[in-house]
Structure 1
Amino acid sequence: MRFKVGDEVRFLNETGEGEITRIEGGKLYVDVDGFEYPYSPADVILVDGENTVFETREFGSDRGGNNTHESSEKHAETPINIALKGALSQVFERVNPKGIPECDLHIEKLVQKHEHLTNGEIVSLQLEYLKHILDSAEREKVRELIVIHGVGEGVLKIEVRQYLSSFAHITYEDASFQRYGRGATYVRLYGL
């Protein structure tokens, strides 16, 4: 599937989102509060309402020269399907010395081969995994957990916390600096 005019996107390297207004010259032009800015397809994540959509996305233009694109179905497995076969079945196998479950969002922990993924696909996969973790925590009545997102440029940490903020029954704070540095978030689930 390809990006198309009208798609809502979230930015990887900055806060905010906007709507694709046109596609030309290898760039996506995104309207943000009435202003149009160019972005590389690798620097955005497709969103659908409140949810980040994870699909392998291709960028391209049609032969007619306008800004509409046809969708094409891929028969290859998407990275989320690969992860579902492995990492998701082992949700709460890792706990810290205090007995609190840990979930590691580092991409190399989720998929074996990630070199072919764009930055947007990687973050989308990590957020899908976090969603699964939270669903599992609620089912299993887990009241607290540690989400390891790493430090890096801070993009994943921002996305994780933005997602966690959308739940009234979840609070979060920095995890133990002594144990995790700045690379983890302590999550508490209420009302279970």
Structure 2
Amino acid sequence: MISKGDQVAVLDEDQNGIVVAVNQTEVTIETEDGFLLKYQMRELLKIGDTSELKQAATLSSISAALLEKQSSAKRSFVKEKKSKKEEFVMEVDLHIEKLVPSFRGMSNHDILTLQVDTAKGQVEFAIRNKIPRIVFIHGVGEGILKLELDYMFARYPEVIFEDANYQKYGLGATQVYIKQNPNR
């Protein structure tokens, strides 16, 4: 039994100290550096008293510790398999502040043209590099950019498009699937 004034060592740490207070199962020790730390009674070992060490090494306590270790839930290391479509999603943010450092002085027409040209370039890049899926983040706004994108995507026979995942992107995103043609 540990009592006030005993010198103790912490089992799982390189820490020694003198017991300054004992409550039910909690023990407060003052370390050699002068810090007050709280530990559970079972985490401490009285220094200089070999009876406790002998008691800790009995066969029954070892088997109890092994039983406790076995009963703890084993973690599963089974890796989830993802489909190939979910492996890589190219995301393109078409908000003007993401495309140019400053859009001061640009007309709405210039901004829209830059956004549509960027989307067109990214679709063509994805087709060339066989990237199966792109998400274009365009925002909600008045819907003009979305209409222009829909018109542009419809001109590509290998492209299928739909609204992107609402939970992840909200209303302002369009997802584009690119049919892969093995004959190319």
- Scaled by the length of structure 2, the TM-score of the pair is 0.50
Structure 1 or 2, whichever has the larger Rg, is 2
Which structure has the highest helix share of the two?
A: 2
- Scaled by the length of structure 1, the TM-score of the pair is 0.48
Higher relative contact order (CA 8 A, sep 6+): 1
